[in-house]
Amino acid sequence: MSTEESRNKSVQANPPSFREHSAIGWWPKAIAFLGALLLAAGAFIALFHPVMLVSAHDEMNGAVHIYAGYLASRNLALAIMLLAVLSLGARRKLSNLLLLVGLIQLLDAGMDVIEGRWPIVAGVVALAVLFLAASRSLSGYPFWNIQAWKETD
């Protein structure tokens, strides 16, 4: 048996769960595009109308503008990367980026709970679940499984 034949049999017996070059399904693409759109919208709100980020009784001061700028930077960077990786069709990178955005959404939901912004918690958690589900779809494993983080099985 040649080396090529043995390698092919090995791949068939232990197929990699993550196929970097296989096509990305429509729904992970849709979730990634939705995420980029929402992140960009949040960035533009933070840049051009940061008063929307605080409640009606809160004061808009220099500190709020500084942190709004940081939020805009974070959101724009994530939106640009989501669109770039999506356009390249880089499956593993898109999976990892969706995982990152999903975890950020979970942490944002935690902050919303701590600060009592109950009306938006469910929406933020729903977005996190969508991002994490899309990431799992692309990697073949949920994020808590070590195989989701490895290059190969």
**108 domain-assigned:** yes
**120 domain-assigned:** yes
For the question of whether the overall pTM of this predicted structure is more than 0.85, the answer is: no
**33 domain-assigned:** yes
**83 domain-assigned:** yes
For residues 39 and 76, the answer to whether their CB atoms sit within 8 Å is: yes
For residues 148 and 12, the answer to whether their CB atoms sit within 8 Å is: no
User: Residue 120: which domain range?
Assistant: 25-139
**80 domain-assigned:** yes
**13 domain-assigned:** no
**88 domain-assigned:** yes
Would you state the pLDDT for residue 21? 52
What total of structural domains would you count in the chain? 1
Residues 26 and 132: their CA atoms lie apart, in Å, by 16
pLDDT in tens, 82-121: 999 999 999 989 999 999 999 999 999 999 999 998 999 9
**72 domain-assigned:** yes
The chain-wide mean pLDDT, for the chain, equals 85
